[in-house]
Structure 1
Amino acid sequence: MTDLVAIVGGRVVTGTGLQIECGTVLVSRGRIEAVGSELDVPHEARVINASGCWVLPGLIDPHSHIGAHEEANGPAGFDGSEVSNPVTAGVRAIDAVNIEDIAFQDALAGGITTVVVKPGSGNPIGGQSVAMKTAGGRSIDEQVVRAELGLKSALGENPKQAYGERKQMPSTRLGIALVIRQALLDAQDYVERRRRAEADGAPFARDLGKEALAAALDGTLTWEQHAHRHDDIATALRIADEFGLRLVINHGTEAHKLANVLAERDVPVIFGPILSSRSKVEVRESDPANLAALAAAGVRVALTTDHPVVPIGHLALQAAVAVRAGLPRDVAIAAMTSSAAEIAGIADRVGAIEPGRDGDVVLWTGDPLDVASIVREVLIEGRTVYTAERMTE
């Protein structure tokens, strides 16, 4: 098979606000080489006729549990949360993902080519996330976009319930914040001991959990803060200030109440899920209009299904619902493509149809925000991995 692919004749929506009618996308050796309306197509290229289609970058879900909370596999497929200890910073989501989870087929059918898989929210500090493609590898390691991405932390109802039922700390918001602060303080002490040992050439006992926390302290890992209520978001901002964390709010049900503060500080929000019910107290004010308010205030936003809370294939449907609630169309598209990639820290690879990024391209039969449109074909790094007729081996 040729390493050069030309997708011709479609309406190209780059994910960065640009639309090209009857455009051409050239993908060479897995990367986008060129995009435009009057490109010469090399004779050796494999040509995909996209006439009548909308051509978009592969969509991104920047907060999911796909493969770790497997579809249709019951407790045997539930590996997303190690709640045996309130602080499990050393665990890695990559070790829990089963790439044969049937939800990956649903992701492709929904135009999603990249996901960020995160540990669950039962722990105040739950572990490290991974960004990966939804197809294309013999193992997850061949699908990884970035293995060292973020460190998941949770405030509010979930850790309160997980540990309150055990009658152990933390069982209140007070206790959760204390556990997080103490873990970060311990990591600061660890970093200093490590520095001294290195300077002295002395032996040093490594601790995987504290190494991960140290990476969050120096900004290598994003601090991925699960928070719904406005008071939890305020706590997240406070802790981020105390320790210099690179904060991203995940869920943000009531983030609109602090929209101006978040915009001033350039703290982004991965919002959602939108299509879920108000299943607990802290999501009682859930409303897609809250996302529109965040964007209007200048907050950088992305969309999440929080799969399996909302089936991952419904990401574009959530964007359509958000547009109906007032989110501008271009912001909704970016929230699944370029903005999602920037917030997740993977914009060097994915999120837009522009030269240098991975050749992850999706052909839709129409406007992806029209619920009647379906995905006709999905390419990951220039290779067709899904068509509407069949899953490509």
Structure 2
Amino acid sequence: MGDKMLIKNAKIYTMAKENYENGSILIKNGKITKIGEDIKAPLGDQIIDVKGAFLMPGIIDAHCHIGGQEANMGFEGSDINEMSDPITPELRALDAINPRDEAFTKAICGGVTSVMTGPGSANVIGGTFVAIKTFGISIDDMVIKEPAAMKVAFGENPKRVYNSKNKMPSTRMATAALLRKALFDAKNYKIKKENAKEKDEFFETNFKMEALLPVIDKKIPLKAHAHRADDILTAIRIAKEFDVLLTLDHCTEGHVISKYIKESGYPAIVGPTMSFNSKIELSNKSFSTPKVLIDSGVKVAIMTDHPVIEQQYLSLCAGLATKEGLSFEDALKAITINAAEIIGIDNRVGSLEIGKDADIAIFDGNPLESMTNCLYTIIDGEVVYKM
């Protein structure tokens, strides 16, 4: 963790209340201690003069599979889909992530400092996601929040996987039914556990059910893989039925039903849009989706789904959304503070504010444009990349 550092002469976008045309940031012990203009560095501080460069919070990807689907590895490095049981809430992404995956280095070079990474969408319930920093040797030291969400999947993927095995689900009805049953079982399990505790009786814990308790208790959301409009609405229907938190991940046809998503109160994590339409569910994929949802009052983050789109290109995905009318500030929010708020780590990252982690990305121009270079990436007050 960095000691003391002053970054000066920066065009600062804080993603909080105030921006600065020629600002400075003072960092101590990995935290931001001061932001403003004409800040003087205490004697002995490291000083970085960025000479007018664009400075923003470190970029955050709210949905990816980095470290679990490793580069250059094939089957040996593919650890995100346990395709042997459609209900696996007990699985933890934390146990699959390899910090030595070369994708982490590329992410850092693109200014990406935090990610939410976890299981794929083969299972109805796939296990827990974890929010981590992108720099570190031990995954345990990189964790921001764990567990951070419970992955669930609707639509084509789980039915395709298990139809090939002659198991449920082979229809959307069965996917919804299996998820409902697991949530019913978890609610009943909680009641039995509480009753046993009140009576001071022995209670045999169940590994799968224990993993679902944070969902039932609204400590973490269901993280719903849903592309098609009807699948998005099914995810909302079930979340309302069981009174649980939910994020709508992918949300490819969200623009078709933006009114209903707004009324639900659930946020959307949109993407990966800069990719091939590889299946029917992606037929209506569009870079206009974030703008339509935001204009409807939905909180939106933009994601890569790495390795579908490589992690370091998240800012370009946001830039392509601006070509379809999304404002510059909303695009930045979608990869910083909105992403942090949606995945529940905004107490530490997502904006440049006093007391938050000193996670910073510095660019030689507009970070949403392809010709722009990342000059510095700083995580916990330490320069982890310098161009």
TM-score range, shorter-chain basis? over 0.9
CA shift digits 1:341-375 (9 cap, x unpaired) = 00010000100111111000111111101211111
Deviation sequence 1:275-311 (CA, Å, 0-9, x none): 1111000010001012211111111000110000111
Counterpart for residue 347 of structure 1? 346
Give the aligned residue type for 1:58: G
| Matched-pair contact (CA < 8 Å) for 2:57–2:359 | yes
**How much does 1:256 deviate?**
1.4
Q: Is the 8 A contact 2:100 2:137 kept in 1?
A: no
- Structure 2 partner of 1:99: 99
> How big is the shift at 1:257?
1.8
CA contact (8 A) 2:2 2:381 kept: no
Alpha-carbon distance in structure 1 between the residues aligned to 2:131 and 2:354: 21
Q: Which amino acid aligns with 1:315?
A: L
Unmatched segments (≥5 aa) in structure 1? 389-393
Is the CA contact 1:316–1:369 (under 8 Å) kept in the aligned structure 2?
A: yes
Distance in 2, Cα, partners of 1:202 & 1:282: 49
Secondary structure in structure 2 of the residue aligned to 1:170: coil
Q: CA deviation at 1:2?
A: 6.9
Residue 287 of structure 2 aligns to which amino acid in structure 1? Answer: P
C-alpha displacement of 1:261: 2.0
Q: Is the counterpart of residue 33 in structure 1 residue 25 in structure 2?
A: no
* TM-superposition CA deviations, 1:110-136 (whole Å, max 9, x none): 10000111210000100001000000x
Native 8 Å contact 2:115 2:134 kept in 1: yes
Q: C-alpha separation between the residues in 1 aligned to 2:215 and 2:2?
A: 42
Percent identity of paired positions between Structure 1 and Structure 2: 39
Decide which moves more: 30-39 or 84-93.
30-39
More deviation in 6-15 or 256-265? Answer: 256-265
**Residue type of the partner of 2:328?**
R
Q: Deviations over 1:210-234 (max 9, x none)?
A: 1121210110111111100110111
Question: Quick one: distance in 1 between partners of 2:16 and 2:86?
Answer: 40
* Residue correspondence of structure 1 range 134-153 to structure 2 within 5 A: 134-135=134-135, 137-153=136-152
Answer yes or no: is the 8 Å Cα contact 2:2–2:380 preserved in 1: no
User: 2:325 corresponds to which residue?
Assistant: 326
Q: Does the Cα contact within 8 Å between 1:133 and 1:145 map onto a contact in 2?
A: yes
Aligned CA distance change for structure 1 residues 17 and 285 (closer, same or farther; 3 Å): farther
Q: Which runs of 5+ in 2 are unaligned?
A: none
Q: Quick one: distance in 2 between partners of 1:377 and 1:17?
A: 24
Query: Are residues 1:76 and 2:70 paired?
Result: no
Equivalent residue for 2:313? 314
Q: What CA distance in whole angstroms lies between the structure 1 residues aligned with 2:144 and 2:60?
A: 12
Q: Aligned partners of 1:138, 1:290: CA distance in 2, in Å?
A: 37
Kept in 2: contact 1:16–1:334 (CA 8 A)? no
Trace 1:162-311 onto structure 2 (pairs within 5 A): 162-311=161-310
Q: Which is worse superposed, 245-254 or 10-19?
A: 10-19
In the alignment, is the contact (CA less than 8 A) between 1:119 and 1:152 conserved in 2?
yes
Residue 307 of structure 1: SS of its match in structure 2?
coil
Who is 2:89 aligned against?
Answer: 89
Work out whether residues 52 and 366 of structure 1, in 8 Å CA contact, stay in contact via their aligned partners in 2.
no
**In the alignment, residue 127 of structure 1 is paired with which amino acid?**
G
Bigger drift between 94-103 and 368-377 goes to 368-377
How far the C-alpha of 1:42 sits from its partner, in A, is 1.6
Query: Cα distance, 1:17 vs. partner?
Result: 6.5
Do 1:106 and 1:313's aligned partners in 2 also have CA atoms closer than 8 Å? yes
| 1:33-89 Cα deviation digits (max 9, x unpaired) | 111123222222110111131111100001010000001111100001112111000
Q: 1:167 to 1:27 in 2, by over 3 A?
A: same
Q: Check conservation: 2:99, 2:137, Cα contact below 8 A.
A: no
- List, as ranges, runs of 4+ consecutive aligned residues in structure 1 with deviation greater than 3 Å: none
Q: Which moved more, 1:251-260 or 1:32-41?
A: 32-41
For 1:155, the equivalent position in structure 2 comes to 154
Per-residue CA deviations over 1:198-251 (Å, capped at 9, x if unaligned) read 112122221222112121011011111110011011111110111001111000
Structural RMSD (CA): 1.2
Contact 1:2 1:46 in 2 (8 A): no
Q: Do the aligned partners of 2:16 and 2:353 also contact (CA within 8 Å) in 1? A: no
Look up the SS of the partner of 1:51 in the other structure: coil
Q: Is the 8 A contact 1:291 1:327 kept in 2?
A: yes
Question: What is the aligned length?
Answer: 387
Contact 2:111–2:377 (8 Å) recurs in 1: yes
